[in-house]
Chains A and B, each alone.
Chain A
Amino acid sequence: MNNVTFGRYSPLNTFTHKVDPRNKILILILLMVSIFLQFHVWSTTLLLSGVFLILLICLMLISKVNFLDLFKSLKSMWFLVIFLLVIYVFIPNPTYKFVCYRFNDHYAIYWDSFYQSGYIILRLILMISLTMVLTSTTKPMDLTYAFEWYMTPLKVIRFPVHEIAMTLSIALRFIPTLLDETDRIMKAQASRGVDFNRGGLFKRFKAVISLIIPLFVSAIQRSEELSDAMEARGYNPREKRTRYRKLTFSWRDIIALLFGLAIFGGILYLFIYDHNVEEIDLFMQIFGINVGF
Chain B
Amino acid sequence: MKKISVKNLCFSYVKDEPIVKHVSFNIHEGSYVSIVGHNGSGKSTLARLLIGLLAPDDGEIYIDDELLTNKTVRNIRKKIGLVFQNPDNQFIGATVEDDIAFGLENRQIKREKMHEIIEKFAKRVGMEDFLDKEPSRLSGGQKQRVAIAGALSLGPEIIILDEATSMLDPKGKSDIKELIEEMRKDNPSLTILSITHDVEEAFLSDEIIIMSKGEIAFKGKPEEVFSNREVLKSLNLEMPFIMDLKDRLKSEGINVDKSKDLDEIAEVLWPLK
A: residues with CB less than 8 A from B are 139-141, 169-170, 172-173, 176-177, 180, 222, 225-226, 228-236, 239-246
Contacts and interface: CB of A to CB of B under 8 A. Distances in A.
B82 A244 contact: no
B63 to A, nearest CB: 14
Contacts of B98: 141, 244-245
Kindly name the residue among B82, B91, B94, B114 whose own CB sees the greatest number of chain A CB atoms within 10 A: B94
Interface string B90-114: 1111110110011111111111001
B108 A242 contact: yes
Given A173-B135, A234-B106, A242-B111, A228 B84 contact: yes
A87 B93 CA distance: 47
A242 B136 contact: no
A233 B106 contact: yes
A228 B83 CA distance: 11
B51 interface: yes
A10 to B, nearest CB: 13
A141 B94 contact: yes
Contacts of B101: 244
B111 A226 contact: no
Interface residues of B, number: 41
A241 B105 contact: yes
A232 B111 CA distance: 21
Contacts of A141: 94-95, 98
A19 to B, nearest CB: 19
Contacts of B78: 234
Nearest to A228: B53
Contact of B91 (A173, A241, A245): A173
A232 B53 contact: yes
28 contacts: A140-B94, A173-B94, A173-B135, A176-B135, A177-B88, A222-B88, A228-B48, A228-B53, A229-B82, A230-B92, A232-B80, A232-B81, A233-B102, A233-B150, A234-B77, A234-B103, A234-B106, A235-B106, A242-B108, A242-B110, A242-B111, A242-B114, A244-B97, A244-B101, A244-B104, A244-B111, A244-B114, A244-B118
B105 A242 contact: yes
B239 to A, nearest CB: 32
Contacts of A222: 86, 88-89
B134 interface: yes
A243 B111 contact: yes
A225 B89 contact: yes
Contacts of B107: 234
Contacts of A170: 92
- Report which residue of A173, A177, A240 has the largest number of chain B beta carbons within 10 angstroms of its beta carbon: A173
A172 B102 CA distance: 16
A139 B132 CA distance: 12
Contacts of A139: 94
B92 A177 contact: no
B154 interface: yes
Given A225-B86, A234-B77, A244-B101, 13 more contacts: A140-B94, A173-B92, A173-B93, A176-B134, A176-B136, A222-B88, A230-B102, A231-B53, A232-B82, A234-B106, A240-B108, A241-B106, A242-B105
Nearest to B98: A244
A243 to B, nearest CB: 6
Contacts of A177: 88, 135-136
B94 A229 contact: no
B117 to A, nearest CB: 10
B88 A229 contact: no
A235 B102 contact: yes
A243 B95 CA distance: 15
B33 to A, nearest CB: 19
Nearest to A176: B136
